Chain A
């Protein structure tokens, strides 16, 4: 962040504002083309889904014995992607780290978007979407599906608040700085969104207070969400799902894939929006270390799960163990084990490959293989025969793949649109931090005083 520490603070700050606010004012043809492409993919998915609506779930590859498939696996995956953003930002805020200031906004943002997309899948998977209102009329709190609904809506609300609170000063900045170049409706939007922020000490105090409370609240909520998602599996008697470690395992996997997703989004936005000065190797490497640590946690969970079950080879467990290790899921499983757990960790641990491109490559591997892991976890679990019959098989149809493609496109679409509406870097926080880090003499020499509230004092009056 302090790459150009020699700059006078005013110039530094002006450049930051210019860089961050630029995309809010102008839109290029390349952007429009990109949006058009995404809309087309989403439209295709909607068409595929309308086929499913018309003919029923028979158009999917799911049948009685493997009755959940790609949809539910993708649901778990997107919930996982949503996981790291808010959690990471909250943990780092609570522990008063500062290196992440320039990426917290993106991290929190990814949570909200991924949750919105994830929430669609259970409904897409319903056999009778026209009766979805029955969940309200007859909802039973004893059902893990209801827990999911409560957990996800709570998390979504919490993450939205947590995203919006620190946005207020930046909306005010947009209101004050965006000139005639921005369209009128945008200026109106920023005026409304800034909710009268003037930066007075009272407002500052309330802002920091609210952020602190939310940061502490959001951590247990985030952990509970993925635990509850794992319980739609772990609350059943199916052999591979019937495990006490499932919640923790899902949470770890969620943070793992979530961090990788943050790195990817960071890499893209840094490139597209020219944020190289603020998102530097520091952010990549620090997140990379976290990724490597989580990969260690995941290896540990896998090891303790498969070694303990594989050693005893209980009846159903043995089937599951064999189909993963040597059977029909072996290619996916080993791709995940080596390509998704070992390889990313190695890339990050070796100094030679611990570069920005190296870390991006590791993140791509993690995101792809974590989807694969969710997929084979769900499908292989259902494939274990419950009675003496030959194991069933499942292959997603083009409808299911199209819907999945549409989900990714929708994710990218929301990100692309919102990037034009809010500053992707928290300008005021980055400024505060920069000012805090400046040596005091320099500040005095230039006759410039630090802001009234500094991040590490937490804003207490």
Chain B
């Protein structure tokens, strides 16, 4: 009944990722019997990735190197929903293609929100990478977890698909593989990692993972790379720098001088995604021009036997 048996279990076996040391397993069994208080003790740090990230954290602390604290600033003054180039939002498209995200997932989704005086603004919304993440708090098996770098990841090898995290996320930023997601050929060859959730697994939750793997290699996330207007800045709160690929800004000053805000600040989720208010004025958009082009999931034609579903 454990992961070692399921179809994905074989994958886990192959990558060696959700293997548990036998002792840890026994310990957790004992803890289960002992009751609530003991379970916390009994949770083994089983996941190799988790151990990896934790180890990275302690190593950084030991050597005195500072830990990255990834953050994103989205300058709404420059977001016109890709109306000028007459395309579906490029950030979303690039994210879908980079992560081979199943239809209808839009890990970064551009919402068209009404403005008080009429007209609309566009709000590209990735996972907010909350520092007090409701989704992490409620997960019964620790499949959703925070890394020392402050990113919230989902381990699809451990997720049991209870979906309480989807209930808990106040930003509607979590997606479920309701059926068998389309897996393009290239996805099947990719080695799974919680930092790059490919290939998608039926019955588990997925979401934006803030592309820490790209960032570590010195590249910005797919969405930031793809934005034709340079509206998405990505950076490190620790170094206090962020860039949209054209300019590098001092993060704290940039946020303060432009009166940045965060979505649903009142909930206390403490997001790592900041917004600068606007409606695309810097790239010449009129607030009264409405509408986005439809998002496409291009490789669907390649995938056989896959399913798609609505929101």
A146 to B163, CA, bound (A): 14
Q: Are B204 and A128 in contact (CB under 8 A)?
A: yes
Q: B272-311 CB contact bits vs A (8 Å, 1 = yes)?
A: 0000000000000000000000000000000000010111
**Is A143 positioned at the interface, with any CB of B under 8 Å from its CB?**
yes
Q: In the complex, which range does the number of interface residues on chain A fall in?
A: 35 or more
**Is B254 positioned at the interface, with any CB of A under 8 Å from its CB?**
no
Q: A377-402 CB contact bits vs B (8 Å, 1 = yes)?
A: 00000100111110010000000000
Report A-chain residues with C-beta under 8 Å of the C-beta of B2: 131, 133-134, 137
A177 to B2, CA, bound (A): 49
**Is A441 positioned at the interface, with any CB of B under 8 Å from its CB?**
no
Within 8 A of A (CB), among B122-181: 123, 125, 134, 137-143, 158-164, 166-172, 174-180
Within 8 A of B (CB), among A44-60: 55-58, 60
Q: A54-81 CB contact bits vs B (8 Å, 1 = yes)?
A: 0111101011110110000000000000
**Is B116 positioned at the interface, with any CB of A under 8 Å from its CB?**
no
**Is A452 positioned at the interface, with any CB of B under 8 Å from its CB?**
no
Report B-chain residues with C-beta under 8 Å of the C-beta of A237: 134, 168, 170, 267, 269
**Is A179 positioned at the interface, with any CB of B under 8 Å from its CB?**
no
Q: Are B162 and A126 in contact (CB under 8 A)?
A: yes
**Is A310 positioned at the interface, with any CB of B under 8 Å from its CB?**
no
Q: Are A67 and B166 in contact (CB under 8 A)?
A: yes
Within 8 A of A (CB), among B98-115: 104, 109, 111-114
Report A-chain residues with C-beta under 8 Å of the C-beta of B113: 388
Question: Main SS of the interface on chain B?
Answer: loop
Kindly provide the distance from the CB of B106 to the nearest chain A CB, expressed in whole angstroms: 10
Stretch at the interface among B37-45, B56-64, B185-193, B227-235: B37-45
A135 and B160 in contact (CB under 8 A), knowing A141-B40, A388-B114, A389-B172? yes
Kindly provide the distance from the CB of B79 to the nearest chain A CB, expressed in whole angstroms: 14
A375 to B123, CA, bound (A): 33
A56 and B141 in contact (CB under 8 A), knowing A386-B170, A388-B112? no
Stretch at the interface among B27-35, B213-221, B243-251: B27-35
A135 and B141 in contact (CB under 8 A), knowing A64-B174, A140-B43, A387-B125? yes
Q: Are A67 and B180 in contact (CB under 8 A)?
A: no
Q: Are B161 and A138 in contact (CB under 8 A)?
A: no
Report B-chain residues with C-beta under 8 Å of the C-beta of A139: 28, 32, 39, 42-43, 140-141
A233 to B164, CA, bound (A): 9
Q: Are A128 and B40 in contact (CB under 8 A)?
A: no
Name B's A-contacting residues (CB within 8 A): 1-3, 5-6, 20, 25, 28-29, 32, 35-37, 39-40, 42-44, 46, 104, 109, 111-114, 123, 125, 134, 137-143, 158-164, 166-172, 174-180, 202-205, 267, 269, 307, 309-311
Closest 5 CB pairs of A and B: A127-B161, A58-B179, A127-B203, A143-B140, A145-B140
